[in-house]
Amino acid sequence: MTAQENIQKTVDENDVVLFMKGTKLMPQCGFSSRVAGVLNFIGIEYTDVNVLADDEIRQGIKEFSDWPTIPQLYVKGEFVGGCDIITEMTLSGELDKLFEDKGVAFDTQKAEQIRASNA
């Protein structure tokens, strides 16, 4: 299986996927840590893919999404964005709406807590 096929299979088979440096329990860069921290805090069930463990996936995900940076978040097969976009969407409430629209369960009170602490 090629890296592109592997990425497509992962995105297709999981509701929420974060391609990141490190793992959700041990991120290995600040940007990955921020996105994983948001997802963990609001209780999202997601699959983490450590791009540092596989150079083909690390390069392949950039080509797959046509997005140059990592982390990359996918929800129900749709590329959402990287750290800056996820941060903005979290603070504006757009991420809540996306998860609601896609039928992904999360803790709305925790999401509100993030916004309140950043107001």
pLDDT in tens, 94-106: 999 999 999 999 9
Averaged pLDDT of the chain: 97
Say how far apart CA 104 and CA 12 lie, in whole Å.
Answer: 15
pLDDT beyond 90 at 119? no
pLDDT in tens, 32-49: 999 999 999 999 999 999
- Domain 3-117: CATH superfamily is Glutaredoxin (3.40.30.10)
Say how far apart CA 85 and CA 47 lie, in whole Å.
Answer: 19
pLDDT in tens, 61-87: 999 999 999 999 999 999 999 999 999
Are 82 and 74 in contact by the 8 Å Cβ rule? The answer is no
Residue 33, token pair as written in the block: 């840590």
pLDDT beyond 90 at 1? no
Boundaries of every domain in the chain: 3-117
Name the residue among 69, 20, 66 with its Cα closest to residue 46: 20
